[in-house]
Chains A and B, each alone.
Chain A
Amino acid sequence: MQNAKDTFYITLRNRLTQVNPARTILLRSVTRPGILVEEAESPMALPVLDAFTLRWTGLAILPQLPLPLAQMTCEIYYSTAGTQPNSGLDRGRALEEMDAELQQMLSPQCAPKLNYTTTPPGAMLTSIFWSEPEFQPAVPLRDQISRTALVTVWSWQEAGER
């Protein structure tokens, strides 16, 4: 499952650099594309604005198939307070822009699975694939507006894979 989670994140991150190269964050002294895995970062008191946060929640294994199929739920959370020149009054537009970017990042809905514990990352035999995003209602909170999109990711469990 971990290979699938890593592959999903790296795929989305690489696609984000194509979709909107200007969306970057400074995290742990590195300027990188504006997407992060929540469980791989230090706990944060406040979510990072104008960035996508991947949060892995649901997990199910479907065993009645030629290979066990792992089905994982990824919550993609993003929030924005708009831009300073517009005094935050464009936060709705900024959120819509992030909705569109996420939709582009998630298409096509598959990627070859890689093992990132080796250097360079090792290609595996199968691919991961995922569902269309289920956009949840936008949540306004004072000067911010946020949304969560739910994506189901499937991955074949290859022999020897944990």
Chain B
Amino acid sequence: MCADLSTQIPCGRALRVAASLLRACGGTTAYLQVPPLTGDQNDTGQIGIDPPNLQLLPLSPAVFHKMRTDLLLPNQPQRYELRISAEAVAAQVAQRQLASASSLFSMASGVIVAGRLFMIEATSSFEDQGEVYLYRILLRDAASSWPLQNPQAGPQS
């Protein structure tokens, strides 16, 4: 058994195609809810007294849709799928100086799309020549439905 030594030079083609397709398919903006870069060091921040001051990171282009109900088990809550361009995710990963996209998704407490909050169930990625070009995030409705106050979280046009 030997390693695959063929030359593969990623040229970003898949990345650009994915971004173009997402835009063409009615791309919207999803906002990832993440903690601030400087967290709350106080005791009150750890026992639910202080507000967490979550930040919203815009990710665009993204395509959001309901999952087919025939794929759901009985009594399973409605699931949604969000497909995000890897370019947008990479930009946020670089801006926050994180090690990887999975770090970004693991620190996120939710996703806001069109003013609605969703919880992250799972994430996966699609690769071409070792380069991620698309992220797929599985979401479910958040139990809470309080009005979101951040103007960025308003419905997308």
Contacts and interface: CB of A to CB of B under 8 A. Distances in A.
Partners in one complex: yes
A6 B49 CA distance: 10
Nearest to A5: B47
B46 A29 contact: no
Interface residues of B, number: 22
B110 A29 contact: no
Given A28-B35, A45-B120, A45-B121, A39 B48 contact: yes
Nearest to A14: B43
B49 A117 contact: yes
A28 B40 contact: yes
A30 interface: yes
Contact of A30 (B39, B44, B49): B39
Contacts of B47: 5-6, 9-10, 37, 40, 116
A69 B46 CA distance: 26
B151 to A, nearest CB: 22
Contacts of A42: 52, 109-110
A137 interface: no
A116 B44 contact: yes
Main secondary structure of the interface of B (DSSP, over half): loop
Contacts of B75: none
A30 B46 CA distance: 10
Main secondary structure of the interface of A (DSSP, over half): mixed
Most buried by A among B37, B48, B119: B48
Interface string B27-49: 00000000111111101111111
Contacts of A28: 35, 39-40, 45, 52, 107
Interface string A31-42: 010001101101
B122 interface: yes
A116 B43 contact: yes
B37 to A, nearest CB: 6
Contact of A29 (B37, B43, B48, B119): B37
A121 interface: yes
A30 B40 contact: yes
Contacts of B37: 29
Nearest to B35: A28
B110 A10 contact: no
A29 B36 contact: yes
Interface string A9-52: 11001000000000000011110100011011011010000000
Contact of B35 (A5, A9, A29): A29
Contact of B48 (A13, A40, A43): A40
Contacts of B49: 116-117
30 contacts: A6-B47, A9-B46, A9-B47, A10-B47, A13-B46, A28-B39, A28-B40, A28-B45, A29-B36, A29-B38, A29-B39, A30-B39, A30-B40, A30-B41, A30-B45, A32-B46, A36-B46, A37-B46, A37-B48, A39-B48, A40-B46, A42-B52, A43-B109, A45-B120, A116-B43, A116-B47, A117-B44, A117-B49, A119-B44, A121-B43
